[in-house]
Amino acid sequence: MKRGSKKGLRSIMPLPLQGKSVSHFCMFPKVNSADYDPATTHVYLNVYDLTPANSYFYWAGLGVFHTGVEVHGVEYAFGAHDYPTSGVFEIEPRRCPGFKFRKSIFMGTTYLNHIQVREFMEHQSSNYHGDRYHLVVKNCNHFCEDICYRLTGNNIPKWVNRLARIGIWPLF
């Protein structure tokens, strides 16, 4: 995610908690969603438009999209940067800077509580370094596919990453 402002983004660092507060590992202050309910364990895929052309191509099952996974009132996503550290970040759901929110898709539920989800994300973030982001083979949609499947057992809709799979995403 090189586009847009980095305001409101918090990096996920793959470090063991060892009894320390989760906020200890955040670069920015804790994000609290206004509609967060600690009793819910729903997992959502939040889809954003990367280009105005999506308005035309979306109905044909095509488009260039950014995605994030929302669970326990926090959205996790993956983006590019120039450093060999995690490119996973967290934001307030449906408010990723630099992108236009399109829709939330219910992916299923998870049995993990918010602390377990945070530990899971910290562990998974070691597989998603910002300097290894690639539009076709390792992008935000690949991250969300992996995380959604591990949390719920469900795959994200095929149309979300279709252009990367057929290798023409960079042409948009």
pTM of the model: 0.75
d(CA 106, CA 22): 26
pLDDT in tens, 9-48: 666 544 443 444 333 333 334 445 555 444 458 999 999 9
CATH of 40-171, one of 3.40.1640.10, 3.40.640.10, 1.10.3720.10, 3.90.1720.30: 3.90.1720.30
Tell me the residue type at 151: L
Every domain of the chain and the residues it spans: 40-171
pLDDT (tens digit per residue) in 102-129: 999 999 999 999 999 999 999 999 999 9
Give mean pLDDT, residues 86-103: 96
Q: Which are the catalytic amino acids?
A: 66, 140
C-alpha count within 13 angstroms, C-beta hemisphere, residue 106: 5
